Structure 1
Amino acid sequence: MNPLSIRNLFKSIATNRELIYQMTEREVLGRYRGSIFGIAWSFLNPILMLVIYTLVFSVVFKARWGFSTSESKVEFALILFTGMIVFNFFAEVINRAPFLIIHNVNYVKKVVFPLEILSIVSIGAALIHAFISFLILFVGLVALDGPTNLTILYVPVIFIPFIVMSLGISWILASLGVYIRDISQVIGVFTSVLMFLSPVFYPLDSLPAELRIWVMLNPATFIIEQVRQVVIVGDLPDWGGLGLYAVIAIFLMYGGYVWFQKTRRGFADVL
């Protein structure tokens, strides 16, 4: 079987599904091992960051989203939090990607170990954190308005192409992290810049048209806008845009997988 084929990728995922589950569980629990609050930090971290960003942007900078004329600070916080969930998922994946191989050298030495699943494990851990954040968001929406928009059920559909694209980027960065150690430093700075080039803290419509085009090149921008559309506004997703995004995501995912499989042959020599 061709090791670069999509069929081989799905076979690897199916064969190693139990291993992926166990490693994802270990990744999430291990991150908080030894801390006083343990797994509770996965709830506390997004809440603390939400409070800080809300104070800075809605109180200090007097920012408004403009979804309603009587927008309260709680409403501002929930709209902001929706964007934060999407971006934090993406940031967690790409920030960890350059370290996936160099922090698991023992797996590289094992010829039979499927190294490609390390990115999938990273995606799984980030998804768990995103899910917890969405639960907090849902509680906030219910507390604020009562029944939420049923269009919130479209969130998983919107997230699927985002996951696929993030996986492709993770494979590329995981490979580059082996050969170019400085890539982790570059990604750290890039993520900080990318956060302010995402419509997390401001509505996309507030940007001039010539700048909006560049912000739309950010992989997280379209997904942030679509998640807000179904969660906050209550409208259906942009199916045409989502379809185009999915096609690009599939090509990027497959390209990342091929790149990873071809470059992994030299991992043992470098490490």
Structure 2
Amino acid sequence: MIRRLIEIYNYRQMLSSLVLTDLRTRYKGSVMGFLWTFLNPLLLLAIYSVVFSFIMRQNIENYPMFLFCAILPWTFFSSSIQSCSGIILRNSNLVKKIYFPREILPLSVIIAGVINYFFGLVILIPSLLLTGIHINISLIAFPLILFVQTLLVLGVSLIVSAMNVYFRDLEHIIAIVLQAAFYITPIIFPISMVPKEFQMYFLLNPMTEIIQAYRNIFYYGTMPDFAHLFLYLLYSFIVLVIGWAIFNKLQKSFAEEI
């Protein structure tokens, strides 16, 4: 793995180019272009706030911000995995014509996703302050939470991007699974609303603890549960190692399968 990481580092210029291409083409041709990077989270926030605050009567103080703290990391998670599921096939000409570490393709999507997440924070943090939620020292835990999530996203993305080359219905299945996962992750509701006998099943979903950790530092102004977070760090690392192994095994025949 170390040798592979060194090789990816040697192709860092290609990686940077792919990240920039992803960011530039995401809204290419649209009238407002790059502004959609900021408008997307705002529109999602507006829609979910109306639906769950007024129509479904969620009685949570400052519910829009409660929701926004969870929507941003979930969007990073779901959009990265969905995009990575078809990344090898979308770059089939590149894969067939030149040699490069194939991991660069899903990695570029995830780096672009992290950058977009930071753009979302440009909206989130001022919104929190404007609605009376104060940012405090708990924010220092943000890099650790993001690191745990990024490892998880990368591991899952390596698996789905490689397997989709051989089983092309997987991309569509992933979309359905992610839609279902949205409702079994405490995004639109706190985990405390789940009956205690069922909470353990929700905690099997790693995004449950990650979402709660983000909400702790942004919305509640408290430190995350570091014991749980380090447990999920180990979990995410295991997923990454498994994903890396599967990707490296399957990538040998990418050119032939494409």
Normalised to the residue count of structure 1, the TM-score between the two structures is 0.91
Counterpart of 2:17 in structure 1 is 22
Percent identity between matched residues is 30
Q: Specify whether residues 183 and 146 from structure 1 end up closer, same or farther in structure 2 by C-alpha distance, changes over 3 A only.
A: closer
Instruction: Summarize deviations over 1:15-49 as a string: whole Å, max 9, x none.
Output: 12222122111101111111100010010111011
The equivalences for 1:53-132 within 5 A come to 53-65=48-60, 71=61, 75-132=62-119
Distance, in Å, in 1 between the alignment partners of 2:11 and 2:130 is 41
Counterpart of 1:45 in structure 2 is 40
Gap runs ≥5 in structure 2 = none
Deviation at 1:194, TM superposition (A): 0.3
The answer to whether residue 187 in structure 2 is matched with residue 200 in structure 1 is yes
The answer to whether residue 212 in structure 2 is matched with residue 217 in structure 1 is no
The answer to whether residue 121 in structure 2 is matched with residue 137 in structure 1 is no
Distance, in Å, in 2 between the alignment partners of 1:269 and 1:13 is 23
Counterpart of 2:175 in structure 1 is 188
Counterpart of 2:257 in structure 1 is 270
AA partner of residue 86 (structure 1) = P
Deviation at 1:121, TM superposition (A): 0.5
Distance, in Å, in 1 between the alignment partners of 2:257 and 2:165 is 7
Instruction: Summarize deviations over 1:83-136 as a string: whole Å, max 9, x none.
Output: 101111110111112201111101221352111111110101111121111111
Deviation at 1:147, TM superposition (A): 4.3
Distance, in Å, in 1 between the alignment partners of 2:171 and 2:87 is 11
Distance, in Å, in 1 between the alignment partners of 2:131 and 2:243 is 42
Distance, in Å, in 2 between the alignment partners of 1:12 and 1:168 is 18
Distance, in Å, in 2 between the alignment partners of 1:8 and 1:236 is 37
Distance, in Å, in 2 between the alignment partners of 1:210 and 1:128 is 38
How many residues end up aligned between the 2 structures?
Answer: 258
Q: Contact between 1:149 and 1:232, CA under 8 Å: does it hold in 2?
A: no
Root mean square deviation, CA, Å: 1.3
Distance, in Å, in 2 between the alignment partners of 1:244 and 1:124 is 24
Q: Secondary structure at the match of 2:99?
A: coil
Q: Contact between 1:107 and 1:115, CA under 8 Å: does it hold in 2?
A: no
User: Stretches of 4+ moved more than 6 A in 1?
Assistant: none
Distance, in Å, in 1 between the alignment partners of 2:195 and 2:155 is 31
Please, which of 12, 26, 37 is the counterpart of residue 31 of structure 1? Answer: 26
Instruction: Summarize deviations over 1:131-180 as a string: whole Å, max 9, x none.
Output: 11111110101212274222123212111011011101001000111000
